[in-house]
Amino acid sequence: MKIIIPGEVVTALDILQNNGFEAYIVGGCVRDSIMGKKPSDWDIATSARPEEILECFNNYRTIETGLKHGTVTVIVKKMQIEITTYRIDGEYSDRRRPDKVTFTNKIELDLQRRDFTINALAYNQNGIIDIFGGLHDIKNKIVKCVGHPDDRFNEDGLRILRALRFASVLNFSIDDQTSDSIFKNKALLHDISTERINMEFNKLIMGINYQNIIFNYRDIIEVFLPEIKGLSNEELRYRLNSMKELNSLTMRLAVLLQGLGPTDKILMNLKYDNKTVKTVKILTENINEKIYPDPVNIKRWLNKINSENLVNLIKIKKAMFDNEYEELAKSQVIMKEILASNQCYNLRTLAINGQDLLDAGMPKGKRIGMILNKVLNEVIEGKLENKKDILLNYVYGMQKTVDKQND
């Protein structure tokens, strides 16, 4: 077996080895390379202690990422490589992270602390180290704990969700014993920090096999997302299926959570960032609204939820509601035309703004906003052309009428 390792990573391995240390690529990059996938990053495990790693790379830029846990990030020709000392994890008394880690000189012990057999592989120019049958499990597409699942999940409950995440992303099934243990130990997820859960869940929901994993392991997802208890199996299936053509996290979350309560609260509890919370809220609030394929109406939508959200809302509705498909496809065409021809649909694209009205002598205050919105409405309805002089004239006209009424 030969893995093609990028030059930067070979340089890092060489430097460590030339200084008398062992060094291997480990974890996800080995797994992905064997599967013929491009690794997202390259991690190195070494017998060198953190201070020794820093010394080996004193001519390179380094970041002391997690010195206590043995990790140094080294930058070789712009590539960030995480180099971690072989370690044995100590007790996980809070079930979140090891209380302390012990460094070791044995790669076998470092591999033994890893979560799944497919992630417990090491490789360098001398070949592969596969103590736990990871190669066999990659071939058979199986996620299986290293050692006894109950023990491993009790050390770190997040591994429960990581198992689902890998099964989804890699399109693997979960080994029977590991799967039984996942159900048995699901409550351990209660003790896991929301940030860690969030990261794994996002990868899970975007994975190739998310449909089967979420459906078959809904009991597990419900531990941190109890709202989906409100969905019948049939409804859950339908939603998961609708999600398949939606290629963003926000759209998938919107479909999953729609109608299950205040999505902003749900997502804030799960520590999603403000933009995701806001976007999903807008999408869920509007999923059941009709979108009529008519330019004035589409402009109103663009003004109400902005173009990016409308693009996504239409995609979601097309995926969910077959009976609206044709109308939505028409709306999509109309929207594209409006956007491509830079037509006015909001205050930002209106040819006049608040300053223009102030310059024209109008007093500061709420009225300016009201007038701009009224003008925008006329433009959207096609009653006024979006030209500055035309709009200003119209405003003067309005002003005169008001003045007359006041006389």
Positions that interact with Mg ion (CB under 5 A) = 28
Q: Which is nearer to ligand ATP, 43 or 327 (CB)?
A: 43
Chain position whose Cβ is nearest to ligand ATP:
28
Query: Does residue 87 belong to the site contacting ligand ATP (CB under 6 A)?
Result: no
CB of 310 to ligand ATP, least distance (A): 32
- The Cα 185–Cα 223 span in angstroms is 11
* Residues in CB range of 268: below 8 A, 6 or more apart: 277
Environment class of 61 (CB within 10 Å of its CB; exposed 0-12, middle 13-18, buried 19+): exposed
CB of 263 to Mg ion, least distance (A): 29
Query: Does residue 82 belong to the site contacting ligand ATP (CB under 6 A)?
Result: no
- The Cα 54–Cα 378 span in angstroms is 67
The entry of Mg ion, ligand ATP, none that residue 119 binds, CB within 5 to 8 Å by partner kind: ligand ATP
> Restricting to residues 323-352, which ones interact with ligand ATP according to CB under 6 A?
none
Separation in Å, CA 266 to CA 257, 269, 293, 384: 9, 5, 32, 43
CB of 170 to Mg ion, least distance (A): 13
> Restricting to residues 34-73, which ones interact with ligand ATP according to CB under 6 A?
40, 43
CB of 291 to ligand ATP, least distance (A): 37
Query: What's the DSSP call for residue 68?
Result: G
Q: Which is nearer to Mg ion, 28 or 157 (CB)?
A: 28
User: For ligand ATP, which stretch binds (CB under 6 A), given 114-122, 183-191, 233-241, 327-335?
Assistant: 114-122
For residues 145 to 174, the per-residue mask of contacts with ligand ATP, x marking binding by CB under 6 A and - elsewhere, is -----------x-xx---------------
Query: Does residue 27 belong to the site contacting ligand ATP (CB under 6 A)?
Result: yes
The entry of ligand ATP, Mg ion, none that residue 156 binds, CB within 5 to 8 Å by partner kind: ligand ATP
User: For ligand ATP, which stretch binds (CB under 6 A), given 111-119, 180-188, 249-257, 343-351?
Assistant: 111-119
* Residues in CB range of 286: below 8 A, 6 or more apart: 305, 313
Q: Which is nearer to Mg ion, 204 or 335 (CB)?
A: 204
Q: Which is nearer to ligand ATP, 202 or 399 (CB)?
A: 202
Q: Which is nearer to ligand ATP, 115 or 137 (CB)?
A: 115
> Restricting to residues 166-225, which ones interact with ligand ATP according to CB under 6 A?
none
CB of 370 to Mg ion, least distance (A): 54
CB of 30 to ligand ATP, least distance (A): 8
- The Cα 388–Cα 385 span in angstroms is 9
Q: Which is nearer to ligand ATP, 116 or 301 (CB)?
A: 116
Give helix then strand counts, H and E, for the chain. 21, 11
Do the Cβ atoms of 45 and 29 come closer than 8 Å? no
Do the Cβ atoms of 242 and 255 come closer than 8 Å? yes
Environment class of 363 (CB within 10 Å of its CB; exposed 0-12, middle 13-18, buried 19+): exposed
Q: Which is nearer to Mg ion, 175 or 200 (CB)?
A: 200
Query: What's the DSSP call for residue 229?
Result: G
- The Cα 109–Cα 330 span in angstroms is 61
Could you say which of 87, 114, 144, 317 contacts ligand ATP (CB under 6 A)? 114
Q: Which of 397, 395, 381, 292 is nearest to 344 (CA)?
A: 381
Q: Which is nearer to ligand ATP, 206 or 351 (CB)?
A: 206
Query: Does residue 28 belong to the site contacting ligand ATP (CB under 6 A)?
Result: yes
Q: Which is nearer to Mg ion, 28 or 207 (CB)?
A: 28
The dihedral formed by the CA atoms of 339, 343, 347 and 348, expressed in degrees to the nearest 10? 60
Instruction: Give residue 314's region: left, alpha or beta (phi > 0; psi -120 to 50).
Output: alpha
Relative to beta strand 23-26, strand 101-103 is unpaired
Do the Cβ atoms of 267 and 277 come closer than 8 Å? yes
Could you say which of 46, 47, 117, 119 contacts ligand ATP (CB under 6 A)? 119
Instruction: Give residue 312's region: left, alpha or beta (phi > 0; psi -120 to 50).
Output: alpha
Return residues touching ligand ATP (CB under 6 A): 27-28, 40, 43, 114-115, 119, 156, 158-159
